[in-house]
């Protein structure tokens, strides 16, 4: 009897220890996934030094451009910062959203100069809880889609020449602009460019959790979602890109690298198939996450010009 009791107590202790360890891993995951202050990514290398030469040179070019510092207020009272680089003879405005734990300079360093030279004024917001923008939690596009509309309100007020406006996002920024299409966009918005965005935030959580944390199963994702909702005010299953695109009525360009090891390529295919409007899909062989422009610049810009040609005029700012 005493032996069975000891065995039972040991088993209970093991189960309790495993449960505590599981909770600790989930807490670490949420800190990395959504919190601005990440306690578990200490010692990150200098990202600028780690960038490819083309990106670093592009970042240096962006730093030298005359830009207007912009501040707006989000739907939940946060001050969001951005940078507006006005082209001399602008034909359009690109509103460009960087990705998860990204920066406006690094994520668009490779392509910004070419866009500018093609006649694009560039509005580069800093996503909530990143860079100089306020906020404690990132929102996997679920919260940022509302910020996208706030930035478009700013554009409408400052777009005196009534230039066509295009939303452009990479990684989580791509999911942000696609989710924003789920609510009525201003008439000035003529198209969307989404580079390597995810489809369902909870699927992205499941994929990332399995790969890096050995968190498996839909039940674990549901627990993470409940915890995130209590902590950050949103759940990973609150919204998705396919849901947003079911009534999309503007042209959308979907781009993804086939060698993407961070956001699976099939997620962009899901988004493409869900989109009900005019659309085009560019899958770039050998391109990793956010690497399609550098891998095949010609095909990338040809696809971008397709979006412009759908509605673009020849107006100058």
Mean pLDDT by 10-residue block, N- to C-terminus, for the chain (317 residues)?
51 40 79 87 49 86 94 98 96 98 95 97 98 98 99 95 96 99 97 99 92 78 94 97 96 98 98 97 98 97 96 52
Residue 177 lies in a domain: yes
Residue 17 lies in a domain: no
pLDDT score for 270: 98
From CA 65, how far away is CA 88, in angstroms rounded? 12
pTM: 0.89
Using only C-alpha atoms, the chain has a radius of gyration, in whole angstroms, of 21
Residue 250 lies in a domain: yes
Residue 124 lies in a domain: yes
In total, the chain counts a number of residues equal to: 317
Residue 195 lies in a domain: yes
Residue 24 lies in a domain: no
Encoding tokens for residue 293?
């422009």
Secondary structure in 3-state letters for 214-275:
CCCCHHHHHHHHHHHHHHHCCCCCCCCHHHHHHHCCCCEEEEEECCCCCCCHHHHHHHHHHC
How many distinct structural domains can be found in the chain?
A: 1
Q: Residue 173: which region, alpha, beta or left (left: phi > 0; alpha: psi -120 to 50)?
A: alpha
CB 299 within 8 A of CB 283: no
pLDDT score for 306: 97
Residue 294 lies in a domain: yes
- Centroid of chain to Cα 66: 25
Residue 89 belongs to domain with CATH number: 3.40.50.1820
From CA 80, how far away is CA 72, in angstroms rounded? 5
| Structural domain boundaries, residue 62 | 51-200+240-311
């Amino acid at each position: 009897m005493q032996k069975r009791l000891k065995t039972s107590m040991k088993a209970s202790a093991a189960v309790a220890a495993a449960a505590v360890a599981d909770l600790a891993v989930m807490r670490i995951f949420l800190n990395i996934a959504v919190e601005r202050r990440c306690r578990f990514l200490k010692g990150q290398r200098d990202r600028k030094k780690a960038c490819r030469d083309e990106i670093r040179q592009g970042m240096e070019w962006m730093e030298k451009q005359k830009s207007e510092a912009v501040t707006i207020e989000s739907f939940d009272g946060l001050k969001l910062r951005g940078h507006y680089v006005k082209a001399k003879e602008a034909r359009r405005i690109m509103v460009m959203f960087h990705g998860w734990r990204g920066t406006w300079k690094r994520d668009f360093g490779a392509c910004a100069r070419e866009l500018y030279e093609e006649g694009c004024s560039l509005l580069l917001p800093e996503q909530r809880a990143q860079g100089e923008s306020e906020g404690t939690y990132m929102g996997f596009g679920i919260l940022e889609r509302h910020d996208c509309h706030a930035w478009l309100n700013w554009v409408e007020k400052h777009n005196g020449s009534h230039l066509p406006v295009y939303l452009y996002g990479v990684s989580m920024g791509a999911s942000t602009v696609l989710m924003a299409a789920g609510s009525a966009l201003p008439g000035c918005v003529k198209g969307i460019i989404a580079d390597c965005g995810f489809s369902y935030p909870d699927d992205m959580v499941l994929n990332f959790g399995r790969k890096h944390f050995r968190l498996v199963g839909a039940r674990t994702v549901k627990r993470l979602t409940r915890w995130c909702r209590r902590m950050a005010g949103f759940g990973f299953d609150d919204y998705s890109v396919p849901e947003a695109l079911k009534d999309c009525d503007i042209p959308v360009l979907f781009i993804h690298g086939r060698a993407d090891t961070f956001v699976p390529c099939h997620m962009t295919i899901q988004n493409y198939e869900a989109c009900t409007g005019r659309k085009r899909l560019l899958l770039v062989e050998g391109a990793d996450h956010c690497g399609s422009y550098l891998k095949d610049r010609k095909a990338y810009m040809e696809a971008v010009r397709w979006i412009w040609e759908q509605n673009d005029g020849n107006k100058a700012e």
